Amino acid sequence: MKPNEISFSSQALIELIESVLSKGASFRFQVKGFSMVPFIRDNDVVIISSICNSSIGFGQPVAFINPCSGKLTIHRAIGKNSNVYLIKGDTIFKIDGLIPKENILGVIIGIDRKGRRVKFGLGPERFIIGLLSRVKILPLCFWCWMLLPFSARRFIKCAMHL
C-alpha cells in the first residue's frame, strides 16, 4: 500500500459508499479487477452517484452488492424486469444474475485513468456495449484482442488514430 492510501474491507467500503451517497454526494474510489476492461480498468478511479440522482439505463455500469459473495462489484446493467436488473461484467461470460434494485448502490458517472477523464463506455455507446456484452460477444472480442501480439495491437491502435 502506498502512503496516503487507505484500504477498506469490502463491507466497510460498502457502508462508506452508502453513507456518502445517502447525503447526496458522489463517491470516488480506485477499483481493482479486470472484469470491465477496457472500459473500466484495474486502478481506474470511478465516480459513483446515487440512483436517486441518476436512473439505471441499459448498458449503464453500476456498483452493487453481489448477493452471492456479499462483496462490492462494478458491472454493467444489461436488462431490467420490474425492480430487478440483469447485470454482467464486460469481459466475462458469466452473468451475475438478476440483482434486486436494493442491492444496487449507485451508477458509475465518471472514470478517471491516470489523471485523465475517460468517457468512452458511459455515453450513448453504452447501449451497443451492453448489447454485445449481453449476447456474450464482447468477452470473445476482448480475448481475441488479447491473443494478438502486442506489436499488432499497437499498430491497430495507431492506425485508428490517423
Segment 7-19 shows an average pLDDT of: 89
**110-139 pLDDT per residue, tens:** 999 999 998 888 889 999 999 999 998 887
Q: Mean pLDDT score of the chain, rounded to an integer?
A: 88
Report if residue 1 sits inside a domain: no
Whether 21 and 106 have beta carbons less than 8 Å apart is answered as: yes
Alpha carbon distance 16, 104 (integer Å): 14
User: How many angstroms separate the first and last alpha carbons of the chain?
Assistant: 39
Is 3 among the domain residues? Answer: no
Domain total for the chain? 1
pLDDT > 70: what percent of the chain?
A: 91
Q: pTM for the complete prediction?
A: 0.84
* CATH number of the domain where residue 70 is located: 2.10.109.10
Q: Is residue 34 part of a domain?
A: yes
**Distance of alpha carbon 61 from alpha carbon 141, whole angstroms:** 19
What is the pLDDT at residue 144?
A: 74
pLDDT for 151 = 79
**pLDDT tens digits, 24-71:** 999 999 999 999 988 999 999 999 999 875 679 999 999 999 988 899
- The answer to whether position 20 is within a domain reads yes
Residue 17 lies in a domain: yes
Q: Could you tell me if residue 93 is inside a domain?
A: yes
**Which residues contact residue 85 at a Cβ distance below 8 angstroms, ignoring those fewer than 6 apart?**
56, 62, 77, 79, 98, 99, 101, 104
**Does residue 97 lie in a domain region?**
yes
Predicted pLDDT of residue 7: 81
| pLDDT at position 121 | 81
Give the residue among 87, 45, 94 at the shortest CA–CA distance from 66. 87
Domain around 77: 10-160
CA–CA dist 26, 88 (Å, integer): 23
